[in-house]
Structure 1
Amino acid sequence: MTIGFQHPTAKVAMLAMALVAIPGAALAQPTAPYYERSFVLAADLRCDLFQPDVAAALSAATQQARSAALRAGTSEIDLRAAGDRALSRARSVSCADPQLATVRQRVEHAFAGWARLPRMEFPGVRASWIANRVPATGPSWILTQASVTGASPVTVGYTAGEIGDRLTAVVSFVGRPRPYAARIVMRDPKRSPRAWLGGVSDLPPTSVRRGFWAVSFGNADSALLVTGKSAGEAWRFPTEAAEALEKLDPREAFAIEFLFRDDSVASAIFEAGDFAAGRAFLSLGPLGGLAA
């Protein structure tokens, strides 16, 4: 069911029916799930509707709805407009509205189960982000996407204890010396406001890219290596890199570039995908605990 943009107190109960029957379900209009989940998130900020785990699960579902709308061909302009309407509507609804209480109950019922999920896969066009909330006693991946540069495997994501901090890339080079630097490169929205959709493996032209240099590196813990590898390097990037990655269209590519002293560059291509949804899911915290 698609929700019309009527007086804020008139159709709030209808919202619950369409919004939370099945988390992730698509409605008739591509922007409808994003609009409706954005409305409830905004209402939660005003009215403190949900416990942190439910709010985090709803946030992840909202990011998924954004990605689904973009993949369906919705423009960023239309999505921003839908988000603005949702925010305006949330500001107009009374926190004491009994119909909002109905929405709250149905959202809690639909999304509370996310708090018990140990893992989630967020599929993209050609690659997936894998989120893992199972507690570990040592270093472990909690959000990953895999790629290669040549025959060398590269993994990018978050390791336990670093969500919201620094993205990490781990590489095990085959037959090459260790690179002296690494950077993440992606479209620069200031130079190219529109998403670059030349192909899931194509980066935008150099003239409209921006990069984020790794701020530290060292030997990777064996638990972070792909199966069959005994050694590798871990490169960590500033928080700004993750913030920029979240703003990309989910269909866009980004790359990790490794620079060598012979002036060669080895690149591993990744897909932006539902990176933001993966981060939101991880904000639930390790399984058995709540988000901080």
Structure 2
Amino acid sequence: MRLLLAGLAFLSAGAEAQTSRDSFAQRALARALDDRCALFTESERLALDGAYLQVRGDLLRDGFSPRDIDSSYDRVIRTVGNRPCDDTDVQLLADDIRSAFAAWQRERFQDFMGAPSLWQASRPYAYDSWLISTAVSDAPLLRAGVYQLNGESALTVSAPADASIASLALVMRDPAQTPDLHDPTLGGLLTIEGLPAWTHFIPPADNARRHLPVSRQRQEEADMFRFADATLQALTALDPREAIRIEAFDAEGETVFVEFLGVGDFAAALAFVRSSRDLSAGR
């Protein structure tokens, strides 16, 4: 237990924070030990990464800073730096993770934090389907997530089939250009027209990256705009508290609509899906 709690002293003693602290400590410790001792299979590692990302998102939403969380993780790494891989406590922890993974694998569906709606994740079946999806707005058929088509999964946005929509763009903060979250409200002091109520953090006006789809397919009453894997990776690299912007435009480049989509625990949802054996051969 002393090892599990090492490095998390910056957290408060409140009941909710204590629960998050314990979960973070165990998952951070398991990841650090796995990095050094290769304790887990690829699928077990993905499941552990998803669980770690989920609790990290909880801590961020509870108000803890990324710097403090990452510093805590570094302290966990230093704590286990000289721990023998065949140590009894290390092996007991690995057994606990493997046991939890067996239960994780039996779950076909799981919800993850998102905005304005939850991310709904499903392990893949043989047919075309959403693996991860969320409603972007009240507009019918406007969804985003990861869609499996002909056995290939890709970050996808579906929109009502509309001849006026020539294409979509996903606009994201570029962490390399803008390391800190962009808050045009200055902490809620300003009211920004069109900003969703569930976040202050949106892509900056300058230095944001625009990602365009690589293909478009008609699925009954919806057009499916599919994006490159680089766009998927860019989304998973964002902070769970921020939003991306979805822009639809016509053939002349005029805006048809603009919607915001919360990042939430998308990266954890993706790890849940990818930890399935059904996808292991395709990664």
**Which residue is 1:218 aligned to?**
217
**Contact 1:185–1:212, Cα closer than 8 Å, also in 2:** yes
Residue 61 of structure 1 corresponds to 51
Q: 2:32 aligns with which of 31, 42, 55?
A: 42
Q: Which residue of 2 aligns with 1:155?
A: 143
Equivalent residue number for residue 135 of structure 2: 146
Shift of 1:124: 3.2
2:274 equivalent in structure 1: 283
Summarize the Cα distance change of 1:67–1:234 in structure 2 as closer, same or farther, 3 Å threshold.
same
1:282 partner amino acid: V
CA distance in 1, matches of 2:84, 2:129: 44
- Secondary structure of the residue that 2:142 maps to in structure 1? strand
Q: What is the root-mean-square deviation in Å for CA atoms of aligned residues?
A: 2.8
* Letter of the 1:185 counterpart: V
What residue in structure 1 maps to residue 175 of structure 2? 189
1:169, distance to aligned residue in structure 2 (A): 1.1
Q: Which moved more, 1:271-280 or 1:98-107?
A: 98-107
**Contact 2:171–2:203 (8 Å) recurs in 1:** no
Instruction: Say whether the 8 Å CA contact 1:250–1:274 is kept in structure 2.
Output: yes
Q: How far off is 1:30 after superposition?
A: 4.9
Residue in 2 that maps onto 1:120: 110
Structure 2 CA distance for partners of 1:126 and 1:218, relative to 1, 3 Å: closer
**Cα distance, 1:209 vs structure 2:** 2.0
Aligned residue type for 2:231: A
The change in CA–CA distance for 1:177 and 1:248 in structure 2 (over 3 A counts) is same
Give, in whole Å, the separation in 2 of the partners of 1:96 and 1:109.
18
Distance 2:97 2:33 in 1: 12
Q: In structure 1, how many angstroms separate the alpha carbons of the residues matched to 2:211 and 2:85? A: 42
Superposition deviation, residue 139 in structure 1: 1.0
Please give the residue correspondences for 1:10-89 in structure 2 after superposition, counting only pairs within 5 Å: 11-12=2-3, 28=18, 30=20, 32-89=22-79
Among 205, 223, 227, which residue is 1:233 paired with? 223
Are the aligned partners of 1:184 and 1:254 in contact in 2 as well (CA < 8 Å)? Answer: yes
What letter matches 2:172 in structure 1?
M
Structure 2 residue 190 is the aligned partner of structure 1 residue 200 = no
For the pair 1:99 / 2:82, whether they are aligned, the reply is no
Structure 1 residue matching 2:269: 3-state secondary structure: helix
Q: Structure 2 CA distance, aligned partners of 1:232 and 1:274? A: 26
1:20-45: CA deviation from partner (whole Å, max 9, x where unpaired): xxxxx965175553343122112123
Kindly provide the amino acid, as one letter, of the partner of residue 168 in structure 1.
Answer: T
Please list the CA deviations of residues 245-277 of structure 1 after superposition, one character each: whole Å capped at 9, or x if unmatched: 112221211122121124322223211000110
Percent identity, aligned pairs only? 29
Q: Report the Cα distance in structure 1 between the residues aligned to 2:19 and 2:78, rounded to whole angstroms.
A: 20
TM-score scaled by length of structure 1: 0.77
- Tell me, yes or no, if the aligned pair for 1:26 and 1:33 is still in contact at 8 Å: no
Could you tell me how far apart the structure 2 residues matched to 1:239 and 1:113 are? Answer: 29
How much has 1:76 moved relative to structure 2? 1.3
Mapped pair 1:263 → 2:253: yes
CA shift at 1:195, angstroms?
1.9
**Structure 1 regions of 5+ residues with no counterpart?**
4-10, 16-24, 221-229
In 1, Cα distance between equivalents of 2:42 and 2:105: 10
Alpha-carbon contact 2:203-2:245 (below 8 Å) kept: no
What amino acid maps onto 2:210 in structure 1?
G
CA distance change for structure 1 residues 114 and 30 in 2, over 3 Å: closer, same or farther? closer
Q: TM-score, normalised by structure 2?
A: 0.80
Instruction: Report how many aligned residue pairs link the two structures.
Output: 258
